[in-house]
Structures are given as structure tokens and as C-alpha cells.
Structure 1
Amino acid sequence: MIAAVINISALVLVLFSLIKDKEKSKQALKIAVLKGLGLAPQLISLVAVIGIIFSFLPPELIKEFLGGDFSLIQVGGAALFGAVMMIPSLIALPLAGSLIDAGASYTPVAAFITTLTMVGFVTIPVELKELGKKITIYRNGLALIFAVIIAFMIGVFI
């Protein structure tokens, strides 16, 4: 239902744009199609990665490690895993949805996603060079703390 509302809204707005300025709208649609075709390989790899992960990790195993009543070990492990991984959000977000569908709790999945996007252990060498040691440590430390706080808040509210 939500997807239908979004798609209908987008269609109405595209039609409104075409009525308002046909040339700019055509140019924007051309750019959008080219960008979409550029994303196609990533989207195909997304489906493949999620398929491979779930062929090796049955839902029961995911539910056992990430499901049920969440614990600090679950959240800490998911946060650490997210902090050291370098996964594009395009792949990580659908993966998180699939983990939840497989029985994972919201809190560890939120810890994984928030640390994945906020903490950059992989990028520390670049940050050290560009920002310095003090700022790099503060930024990553605070990002880790706030990512875990956000994960617990999501667990409480959802």
C-alpha cells in the first residue's frame, strides 16, 4: 500500500512537472534514467549478496543470535560488525530489512546500521591524515556511543 502511494505521488508530480516545464522535465527524466541504469549493477549485486547471505544463514540461526530479547552482547557484536564493515547503504539497508524479516530484533539491526554509517574504522587512516588524531578519536568514539544509544532508543520505541 505504501509503495502504491509513493509511486502514484511520484507519477502525479512528474505529470505536474511536465505541464509546468516540458523541456526541463524531459531533461530531468533523462538524467534519472541514466542514473538508474548506472545503479542497475549495484542493485543486481544487492539481490545476489542478500541471496548468498541467506543461503548460508538460515532464519533460525539469525533468530538465535539476533532475535528474541536483545542483550548487550548482541548489540555490541552488531555494532562492532557494522563499525568495521565497509558496505554501501544501498546494500546494507535491504539487508537489515531481510534480517528483521528473518527474526532479528530491531535493536541489534539498528546498532549494525547506525555504526555502519556513523563509525569509520576502515577510514581511520584517511581521517588521521586529514583531520588529525584528536578529532578522529573524538569523532569515531562519539559516533560509536551515539550509534549504540540510537539503537537502544529504536529498540525501546519499536
Structure 2
Amino acid sequence: MTTVLVHGNPETSVIWRDFVPELEQRGVRDVVLLSPPGFGSPIPDGFGGTMTNYRDWLVGKLQSMRRPDPSRLPVAPRRAGPPDPGAGEDLVAEQPSGLIFDATADAFVDPALSREMAHRLGLPTLTLAGHGHWWMIDQPAKAADGLLSFWG
């Protein structure tokens, strides 16, 4: 089964360098790292850098590969500041499945945002108490254990 990891902005796929080996040590073999346009991959002609452009890019990438199991797509809120009213609501066409990573010491995302997102989407959370924005570097083993526990 394919596991897809997509980083946020302004990172590159290097952000997963400590996390992927933890997954592999736990038997996860088919890991694909995707880098959004301008953040580790070329910017396509006509790409405007909007939320919709990034969504369409990600949908296109996922459709071009063996479709990953949506339950294996972790969701981590990576947005600084409060959500804009209605922002992103058109990005979810059906009930999502996934896991919200709640890094309680994240200096860039209010921890309440993780809980709000989980509640709005009906998703469980993995609380990484005392850990920050770069949990995949700070606590890769704990995050991998939590993700595998979620996958069952």
C-alpha cells in the first residue's frame, strides 16, 4: 500500500529524512514524497500559487500514481494564524479520512487549530505533547508509532 507524504511551505521533502526511516523500520515500504511546485519541484506554466492550484496539483499527482489508501494520508495543520472563514471548505469533496498531528508546542500553528480541524473533519488526533512544528524531525519515532497505531 502506498503512503504519501506531502510537506508544507516553505519546506522541501528533506523534512521527512528522519521520519521515513522510522516508517521503514516498522515495515512501511512504499513511501512517496511529494514536493509542491516552488518548494522542491518545478513551477508549471500558468501555476498561480493559490490554494486551488496546490489542490489541483496534489489531486493530479495522486491520480497519476497508484492511488494511496486515503486512510494512510496523515493530515497536519501547517497554517499559521486563524483559519479564514470558509477557507478550504471547497477542497474536501467527501468525508476525509486521516490523522491530525497535534504538536502542542507548535510556535507557528495555534494548537486549538489542530483540535478545531479534527472536530470539523471528524478525524482523530495524535497529540505530540511538548513538541513543535517539525515533529517529523523532533519526534520521528513517536510520530511513526502513532501513525502505525492509527493504521491498525
TM-score by length of 2: 0.27
Structure-1-length-normalised TM-score = 0.26
Q: Which has the higher strand share?
A: 2
- Higher helix fraction (1 or 2): 1
> Which structure has the larger Rg over C-alpha atoms?
1
